[in-house]
Structure 1
Amino acid sequence: MNLIHKIEHWGDTHHPQWIDYLRIAVGFLILIKGMSFVGDLDRVSSLVQQVNYTFYIWGGVHYIVFAQIVGGMFIIFGFQTRLACLVLLPILFGAVFFVNLTHGFSFLNGELWLSIVVLLLLILFLVMGSGKYSLDNLMNRPGYERKI
């Protein structure tokens, strides 16, 4: 067993029930944030331009919106949670270190603290996995058959 399989096994065996509820709440938060970006694409474009990411700005904007909406839904339902967290990590990393940190590191910067907490929780879910109340767990049960 390599290191990744050991981490996955540890996360699957040491998964309290309250972490599933936290995963669902974080998924809703990410989904709502992605939907709010759809409503205000000019704001997202200005955020991407602040980072001086001039190479394919609209591609980056669409990646952010798509990843947050689809990734949020995947995290809510517990479907491929580790993959969704892996896709969302660069977005939250950029939100913490490139976008929100430019507004100042203070207790009044609520967006920065929210981004830090969500980034840390995504890292936690990357290690812990989906949990008991998830589609991944439902599909991995004995007796579940894929009917295609």
Structure 2
Amino acid sequence: MNNVKSLNKWANAHTYLPVDLLRMALGIFLFWKGVTFITNIQYLVDLLSPIDKLDDGMSGMLIVHYVASAHFLRGILIFFGLLTRWALIVQLPILIGAVVINFMGEMHSQNLFLSLITLVICVAFIIYGSGKHSADYYFKMQE
């Protein structure tokens, strides 16, 4: 817990508006991907097709709906800076899976590039935190 507090103090002392705008852009991107996946489930099923488990029906649809709703809801949390670290930590398995899927099936260089960039930015914000222009900071100052 002390490590998180020291990281928060460092991040709040060295926060800049462009970093917070990058966090907000990440939230918008994840929200947009969630909306894309929800409105076009077949696109997500095709992306996840290298995984053999999608053939048995129930578990495949569970994965598809989990990924779509996770991007949608966590994108909103990350945009507002609410529970940012927790949202990103839970988002990591999905992003790691997105990178791995590109190596299991047909290589889509654009999807691989977007997945890697998103993964790197997520890891950076797990370390950095949500910054001063966030709901986390606002609620912390209200205590």
TM-score, scaled relative to structure 2: 0.85
Q: Which residue of structure 2 aligns with residue 85 of structure 1?
A: 88
State the alpha-carbon separation in 1 of the partners of residues 7 and 17 from structure 2: 19
Letter in 2 for 1:72: G
**Between structures 1 and 2, the one with greater helix share:** 2
Q: Which residue of structure 2 aligns with residue 19 of structure 1?
A: 19
Deviations for 1:70-94, whole angstroms, at most 9, x for unmatched residues? 1000010000000110111111111
Kept after mapping to 2: 8 A contact 1:12/1:128: no
Q: Which runs of 4+ in 1 moved over 6 A?
A: none
Quick one: which of 103, 106, 115 aligns to 1:103?
Answer: 106
Letter in 1 for 2:107: G
Is the aligned partner of 1:62 residue 2:65? yes
Change (3 A) 1:4 1:52: farther
Kept after mapping to 2: 8 A contact 1:49/1:57: no
Kept after mapping to 1: 8 A contact 2:7/2:129: no
Does the residue aligned with 2:15 lie in a helix, a strand or coil? coil
Count of aligned positions: 139
TM-score, scaled relative to structure 1: 0.83
Does the residue aligned with 2:49 lie in a helix, a strand or coil? helix
State the alpha-carbon separation in 2 of the partners of residues 5 and 135 from structure 1: 16
Change (3 A) 1:2 1:8: same
State the alpha-carbon separation in 2 of the partners of residues 113 and 94 from structure 1: 13
Shift of 1:24: 0.5
Deviations for 1:27-64, whole angstroms, at most 9, x for unmatched residues? 10110011000111122123333222347111111110
Kept after mapping to 1: 8 A contact 2:82/2:134: yes
**Larger deviation: 77-86 or 50-59?**
50-59
Identity of aligned residues (%): 32
The unaligned stretches of length 5 or more in structure 1 are none
Kept after mapping to 2: 8 A contact 1:11/1:127: no
